[in-house]
Structure 1
C-alpha cells in the first residue's frame, strides 16, 4: 500500500482520464499546442472527436491525424478515435448513400381499422393504408423536414399480415393479404373487430441513412468506411499509440427523436431486418407475422402479448449483439486495438428500442470496457428526488441516475470477462458553464465509488488550461483508483 501511495504521489500511475479532443480542421500549430497542454495537465490519452471535422477520412483529416499522432508518440500518449462523422454512431461517414436498399434501416409497423356492428361483406383497400402516417412530435415539427430534405425514398414497403381481432372474445382471424391493386374482401362476423395491417417499411424516422443495427452486412459498412481506412493509414500505430475506437450512443433509431419512453405498446415503428424472419419463426412459429400486432395492441390476452413481446425483444437484442457490437469489437481486437463507447441509458432507455439498443449488456457485449454517460445534469448532489424534469423539459429520473447508472457499468465490468474489470464514464459535458470544480469533484467521486475507473471529459476543461489534481484515493480490489478534481491554473 505504501509503495502504491508513493508511486501516485510521484505521478507513477496508469492514465485514468482522457478528454475529447474536438477537431474542426485547426492548423498544425494549434493541434500541437493542444496536445502539449493536455499532456501537461496530467492526461496521458485523448479521444479524438471527429464529428465537427470538415473532412473526416479525407486528406485534411489524415494530415491532422498525422500531427496528433506525432505529438502523442513524442509525449507517450494514447489516442482513441470517435468512429463516425455524424451523431450518433451509425452514419458510417455517409456510406449508406450509395449502398443497396436492403442495407438501409427497416421498420415493422401497423395500421388499425376498426370494424364494428353486424356481420357484413367488407371490402378494404389495405394497401392504401400502409405504411401508416408518421405523426411528428413537437420537436420534430420544427426539424424533421430539414432532416429529411435529402432522405431517400424506398419502394420495397410491403404488407406482412392481416390479423382481425374480436374485442369481445379475443378471437384472432388470419386473413390472406391481397395482391397490390386488389382489395381485401372479408365476410365480417358480428361484434367489434379491429383489423391490424402489419408490414415492413424503410420510409420511417429521421435517420434513414444510418446502418441497420440488426443486419451484419449493414453494420460492416461502418467498418469499411471508418475503421479500415484508419488501419490502412496507421497500422504501425495500432495497439501502440492508437488505443482503439469509441462509439457514441449508437441506436436502433425507430420511433421519435430523443424519445426515451419508446416502450412496446406505443404508437411507433419498430426495428426489423431480414434476419428477424428466421429468429421470430423459431420463437413463435410459422404464423409469427400474424402475431406481430401484439407489439402494439394493449387490449389482447396479457400472457400472449408478453410472450410475443419477449420473443421480439430477445431476437432484436441478440442480433444487435452479433451484427453490431461483437462485429466491431472483434475487428478491433483482430487489429490489436480496443473498442469502447456507451449507449443512451437515460431513464432506462437502455432497455428499449428507439434512441438506444434495447439491452445494456448485449449492446456493449463486444466492447472492451463497460461504458456509461453522465451529461446534462443527470447526476446532481441530492438530485435523487428532484427536479422532475431535466434537459429540454424532458422527464428526469433522479433515482435511476443516482443509484443505477454507475451500477450498470460496474455490473458489466464485473460479469463480462472480456472487460477485465474496466468501466468508463463520459462525464461533465452539457452541465453548462455554471459547473464548477466542486461539482466536478462530486461527480468524479460519485462514479469512482461506483467502480468507474476511466473518465472521458470535454476538451473545454483543458482549453481553459485546467490541471488534474489527485485529491484523495479509494481502494478497490488490488488497485488504487485516484479520485480527481479539476482546478484552474
Structure 2
C-alpha cells in the first residue's frame, strides 16, 4: 500500500496544530516556542489570545507578522482563533460597545395566577417585563421600576389559560388577550375558575452570564460584525500570507448561550429561549399561522406534554438550528472560502449539549455546516479509561456522561467528517486540555488512540502557554519553558499521531451501518440517546457512522437495498427509540425501506409524527417494512454485508475502524483497556491476506494467518494497523519485537527484579539535585521521602551476562516513559504499553550494562487542582523487568 510505504519512509504530512497561547510575550520567547513546537514534530500552530490585551492593536499585528515570518522559515502553518478570548462570539467587545441590538435575545414567559369570575378585572403586568426586584433586602429596594430595566424588552403577546394542575394548563383553553403595553395594565373579564396569565416577551435580559453581551448567532448581521471586527483586519494586514502560511480561522465553542450548562433540552428545562428581532413574523410565515395563533403555540414551548407542545418544540428547534447554520456558521465559512482559507473549530458537545440549547448550538450537524473540518473537543477529564458506563464526578458538579464521551463524541465528529463533502474526510479534535499536570504522555496517547480508532485524523493539542512557569491556566502545558520533563519525548507522540492521521486520510471510511442522529427525536418527545446503540456496536466491533435526518432525506439508493451518502454505502440503518419523528424523515425511511434498506428500530416503532397534521398513513407503511429489536438483540439482527469483525469471544474493549484506499484496505484495532492485555482470534471482512504495521515503531510486523483469521495480541492501550495490498510491496525491514502482551515463542525468561540495581536522580523538580541509591532488588521508590514530590528523570542501572544475541526486554509497569540503553547505546523509547525493547544487535557476549531512564509527569510535583481527578501512579519502575529469548540459553546476573 502506497501510504504504508510513505509513512515508513517518513513521507507524511502534518496533522497536529497545537494552541499557542499569546499574552504579549517577548520575541525571543515566541521564537523559542515556535522552534520547540516545530522540533517536536508539529507542523502548525493555532494562535490564541489568552487574552492578549492589545488584541487587534499594533502590538498584535507586529507579533503576527513576526510569527508568520518565523513559521514560513520553519515550514509551519498558522491558524488563528477568532476572538479576543474564548468562547467565540465576544467579537472583541464590539457587540456590547457598538452594536447592542445584535446581542443575544431571548423569548421569555412570565405568569401570574388569578381566580374568576371577575368582571372588568385590571391586572398590573408591567412588572413581568423584568426580573423581580430584590424587595427582601432591606435598604436596597428599588423605589420604582426604572425604564432602563424593561425598555429593551418587547411584549410579544399576553395569553391566558385555565389551570389544570400546579404547573399545568388546559391547552384547549388558551386565549390571546389584547394588552395596552404603554399603560402596563391588562383589562380582562376573568371567567370562572383558576387561570394563569402569561406575558411573552423578547428581551436582552437573562441567559448565560458568562456570555452576556455576546453576539446573537441567529442574526446574520451579528456574524458580519465578527467578520468586520476580527477577520477583515487580519486579511487586510496579512493578505499575502492568506492561503499560504495562514491556513484559516478557528472558532472555539460558539453557542446559543440562553442558559448555562448542557441540560437545556427543549420542554424539559426551565429557561429563556433563543430569539431574534422579528422572528415571530418569520416563524409564523414558515408555519403558515397568524401571529396570534403563533403566540398561543409559543406558550407550549414552555408548558405541556401534548402532541401540540411537542410539535411546536420540534418546529422551533428546527428553525433556530437552521438560523444558526445559515446566519452564523455559513456566513463565516463562506467568507473564508472566498479568500482561499479554511474555517475550523468546534461547538460544545458536552453531555449531549450538541442537540440542545444552552451550551449547545441546537444540532451538531447543522452547527458545523460552514466549517471545513468536522470538529470536537475533550477537556477536563471527559474521556477517561473505563469511565464509560455512568455519570462520573470530575471538574463539573454534575459530572460527565461517560457513555457519551466514550461511545458517542468521537464517532459523532468523525461521521460528519466522513459524510459532509465540505469536510473532505477530515475531523479535528482539540485534545489534552485542563486534565491537570497528572496527565502525561501515556494518557495523551490513549486519548489520541481512542480518537483515531473512531475516525479522527487531525488534532489540536491544548496547549503551549508562553506565560512563566507555572501558569495556572488549564494545565498541562506541553513545554512549560522546559520545565515539563516529558517534553523531550513529545515528538514520539507527535510523529505517531501524524503517521496515523496520514494513513486515515485521503480515502473512504468503510462502515456500512448507519445510525440515526437523535436530535429531532429529542425535540419531539421521548427518545433514546444515539450513544446507546453506538455502545453496543462499538463493543461488538460493528463499523458504523451516524447520519443526520437531512442526510437520509438527501440520500440516493443503489442496488441491493443500499443507500449512498457522500460516496459511502450503507446497507442497514439503526433508529434509536423515538416517540415521534418528522414527517419528511418518515417519508424518506419509507422510500429507503421499500427499496430494500434494512431498517432496525430499537425497542419500539414511532407512535406519531412530530407534526400533528401529518400523514398518519406513512406510519403504517413504515411499520410494514421495518423491524424492531432491543439493544441486546442488535448485533445478531444486523445481517448480510455488515462491516464487522468476527471474534472467538466477547471483547468489549476492542475497537475496530475500517478504512479504504484505492490500493488497499486498512483495519485498525485498538485495545482501549489500560488495565488488561487482550488476546483474541479475529476474522476480518476481507478475503485478501493481511499485513501488519506497528505505527509506534513505524515498521511492518509479521502477521501469520491461523485458519480463516488471525490471532491478535494487544497490550494495554496498544493500537495496531492491518492492511491489504493490491500493489507489489517493496522489500522493507519486518520487525518482530517481543510484546509485553504475548511473549512470542519465547522459551527462556529471566527476571531482573532481584538483581543489584542503582537508581540515580536525573534532571527534575521537587527532589534532590544529585543522589544515587543502591538496592539488592528493584526498589519501591515511594518509600523514599526525598522523592515524595519528585517529577523528572530517574536512571536505573544493572548488569547481566549472556551469550545470546537475540533477546528482548519487557518492563511490565513503569511510570510512565522508559528509555532503554544497553552498553551505552540507546535501544528505544516508549511512552506507553507495551514497554518492550528488541535488544538484538545491542547485546554482547558476556557482561551487558543495562540502563533504563524513567520519566514521570509533573502531577507529583505540582499537585495542582485539576490533577485531583486522576489517580497518580507510583514512582518509577513498579513491575518486573524481564529478558526474553528464543533459545534456551543461559542469561545470568552480572
Name the TM-score, length of structure 2 as normaliser: 0.50
More strand by share: 2
CA distance in structure 2 between the aligned counterparts of 1:422 and 1:245, rounded to whole angstroms: 16
Deviations 1:364-423 (A, max 9, x none): 100000000111111111110255223232231110110000111111112211001100
Equivalence for 1:319: 323
From 153, 158, 168, the equivalent of 2:154 is 158
Q: Which residue of 1 aligns with 2:180?
A: 178
Q: Deviations over 1:23-72 (max 9, x none)?
A: 01111111111111100100001101123212111111111111111111
How far the C-alpha of 1:182 sits from its partner, in A, is: 4.2
Counterpart for residue 257 of structure 2: 253
The structural deviation recorded for 1:288 is 1.1
Report how far residue 235 of structure 1 moved.
0.7
- Residue 380 of structure 1 corresponds to which residue in structure 2? 384
Are 2:660 and 1:477 equivalent residues in the alignment?
yes
Alpha-carbon distance in 2 for matches of 1:313, 1:5? 45
Deviation at 1:214, TM superposition (A): 0.5
Bigger shift: residues 187-196 or 336-345: 187-196
Of 476-485 and 110-119, the range deviating more from structure 2: 476-485
Moved more, 179-188 or 458-467: 458-467
Give 1:289-308 correspondences, 5 Å limit: 289-298=295-304, 302-308=306-312
Structure 2 residue matching 1:190: 3-state secondary structure: strand
Q: Is the 8 A contact 2:391 2:399 kept in 1?
A: no
* Equivalent position to 1:461, from 473, 478, 486: 478
Which is richer in helix?
1
RMSD between aligned residues: 2.3
What's the CA shift string for 1:349-368, capped at 9, x where partnerless? 11111112111111110000
- Separation in structure 1 between the aligned mates of residue 133 and residue 259 of structure 2, nearest angstrom: 9
Aligned with 2:459: secondary structure? strand
Secondary structure of 2:455's aligned partner = coil
Change (3 A) 1:182 1:212: closer
- Look up the match of 2:374: 370
Cα-to-partner distance string for 1:155-200 (whole Å, 9 max, x where unaligned): 3312111111113443111101223224111111122221111111
Q: Which residue of 2 aligns with 1:281?
A: 284
Distance 2:22 2:218 in 1: 31
Shift in Å at residue 86 of structure 1? 2.1
Partners of 2:225 and 2:433 lie apart in 1 by 29
- Which stretch of the first structure deviates more once superposed, 413-422 or 179-188? 179-188
Query: How far did 1:132 drift?
Result: 4.1
Corresponding residue of 1:202? 204
Flag as ranges the 4+ runs of structure 1 deviating above 6 A.
479-489
Instruction: Give, in angstroms, the shift of residue 275 of structure 1.
Output: 4.9
Uncovered stretches (5+) of structure 2, i.e. residues with no partner: 135-147, 165-169, 465-476, 505-658, 669-694, 697-718, 720-829, 833-854, 857-894
Question: What are structure 1's unaligned runs of at least 5 residues?
Answer: 136-151
Alignment of 1:51-450 (within 5 A): 51-116=50-115, 118-133=117-132, 155-168=151-164, 169-170=170-171, 171-205=173-207, 206=209, 207-256=211-260, 259-265=261-267, 266-284=269-287, 285-286=289-290, 287-298=293-304, 302-386=306-390, 388-450=392-454
Taking CA–CA contacts closer than 8 Å with sequence separation of 6 or more, which of the two structures ends up with the larger relative contact order? 1
Instruction: Return 201-210 or 244-253, whichever deviates more.
Output: 201-210
Q: Secondary structure at the match of 1:160?
A: strand
Q: Are the counterparts in 2 of residues 16 and 455 from structure 1 also a CA contact under 8 Å? A: yes
- More moved, 372-381 vs 351-360: 351-360
Gap change, CA 1:280 and 1:134, over 3 Å in 2: farther
| Larger-Rg structure | 2
For the residues of structure 2 that align with 1:289 and 1:379, how far apart are their CA atoms? 43
- Cα gap change, 1:427 to 1:56, in 2 (>3 Å): same
Matched, 1:12 2:35: no
SS at match of 1:26: coil
How many residues align? The count is 468
CA distance in 2 between partners of 1:212 and 1:225 (Å):
15
Cα deviation 1:57-94 (Å, max 9, x = unaligned): 11111111111111110111100000000221000011
